Amino acid sequence: MRSPSPGAARIAVIGAGPGGLTCARILQRHGLRVTVYDRDREAHARDQGGTLDLHADNGQIALRHAGLLAEFLAAARPEGQEMRLTDHTGAIRHHDVPAPGDTFKPEIDRGDLRDLLLNSLRPGTVQWGHDLRTVTAPVDGLRRLHFAGGATTDADLVIGADGAFSRVRTLVSDAVPAYTGVTFLEAWFDDVETRHPELGRLVGPGSAFAISGGRGLLAQRNSGEHIRVYIALRVPRDANTPAGIDLTDTEAARACLLDLFPGWDPLLLRMITDNDGPYVDRPLYALPISHTWTHNPTVTLLGDAAHLMPPLGVGVNLAMLDAAELALALRDSDSIADAIHAYENVMLPRSAGVARECAEGLDGLLAPTPDHAHHHLTADR
C-alpha cells in the first residue's frame, strides 16, 4: 500500500509529555491533523517533576519552531543557571554564575513548560484517559490503537512519545531499558525560605551538588519556594528497592541513608534528614547506546521512547528537538514513509552519540572527587 501524504494522514501521538506536545504544536502550525493520547485522566493528574533547563541549541530551537520561544523566555528563570559544587565537607569547589542576560539554558518547572505547550494546542487535541494497550494493523494498512476500556481508533502514523517503557516501541524494537546501577532518591522541601532557610542559602537560585566518594546530593531550586533533592547512589536493586532500603518507613530509610554518608557536613546531611514527606524511588534506566530499529512506514519514536539515557540535562531537550525535526519532516515530505526516513536518518546517529556521552557522564557524576564531577556536569549541562 502506498504511504499517504502527511496532509491526508491521521497522525496519533502517544504521550502528552514535552516531546509529544511539541510535535503536535508544530504539526498544527503547519496545518496537519494530529491527536495526542495520554493515559492520565486529566492534565494535572500527577506531579510533573522538577525543574529543567532548555538549551539554545536544541530545546529552544524546538520552541522557536513552535512559536513559543518568547513565552518560554518570559516564564523561565535565567538565574537558575547558577551551579554550586561542593565536597562532602561543604567547601565550595566550583561556583558557576551566569552572566547578565545569559539565556543559553534557563530553568523552568516541568509543569510550567507542559502548561505552555498544552495551552498552545487546539481544544480537544489531547485525549486524556487513553491508556494504550496494543496496536494492530488491519488489512488496509492503517494502525488500530486499542486503549484500556475498549476504545479504539485508527491512524496512518503512530508516534511513540510514551517514555522509558514505551508500548509503541515494541512495534519496532525488542530493546528493553536496563538498570544503570544508579538510583536517585527524590526528596522534597517546601516553603524553603520559612522552613528551610539554611538549605535555601546553600542551594542558591539554581542548583547545588555535593559529590564525594561515589555518592551525591543533587539539589535543584524550583519555583514557589520549593527545592528538590536527589540522593544519588550507586547501589544494586533488591526486590525493587535500592540496597534493601525500605522507603515505606521514612525514619528507617533516613537512618540507612545516613550510614551511607559518613563524615559528611551536617548542613549537607539536612538534604537527607529534613525533607517534607517520604522519599521517591527513581532508579535510572537506559536503552542500549546504539539503539536502532528497522524502518517502518507507520510507526516512529521520539524522546525516551527512542533513546532513553541517564538524566544529565539533555533528555527533554533531545525529545523536543526530535519532535520539531519529525514535524518539519512531515511538513516537507510527499509521504509519511519519506518523512520517517528523513527524520530517523538524522535522529538515530545523533542520539547514539549523546547516549554515549551521558553514560560516561553518569560515571563522572559519581566520581570520587568533585573536580572530576565538575567536568561532566559542565560538559553535559
Give the separation between CA 10 and CA 7, rounded to whole angstroms: 9
Contact indicator for 355, 286 with CB cutoff of 8 Å: yes
231 forms beta bridges with: 185, 217
Is 38 annotated in a binding site? The answer is: no
Taking each continuous run of H as one helix and of E as one strand, the counts in the chain are 12, 19
Is 356 annotated in a binding site? The answer is: no
Q: How far is CA 150 from CA 40, 62, 264, in A?
A: 16, 35, 54
Closest CA relative to residue 327, chosen from 182, 121, 74, 127: 121
Q: Would you list the DSSP string of 64-121?
A: HHTT-HHHHHHHSBGGGG-EEEE-TT--EEEEE-PPTT--SS-EEEHHHHHHHHHHTS
Closest CA relative to residue 106, chosen from 57, 54, 157: 54
Contact indicator for 84, 208 with CB cutoff of 8 Å: yes
146 forms beta bridges with: 134, 152
Helix (H) or strand (E) holding 245: none
Give the separation between CA 347 and CA 262, rounded to whole angstroms: 44
276 by DSSP, 3-state: which? coil
Tell me the pairing of strands 11-14 and 157-160. Answer: parallel
Q: How many CA atoms lie within 13 A of 209 on its CB side?
A: 27
Cα of first residue to Cα of last residue in the chain, in angstroms, is 45
> At residue 376, what is the residue type?
H
Contact indicator for 49, 196 with CB cutoff of 8 Å: no
Contact indicator for 300, 351 with CB cutoff of 8 Å: no
Is 46 annotated in a binding site? The answer is: yes
DSSP 8-state class, residue 216? E
Is 156 annotated in a binding site? The answer is: no
> At residue 328, what is the residue type?
L
User: Residues marked as binding for FAD?
Assistant: 53, 110, 304
User: Residues marked as binding?
Assistant: 46, 53, 110, 304
User: Residues marked as binding for NADPH?
Assistant: 46
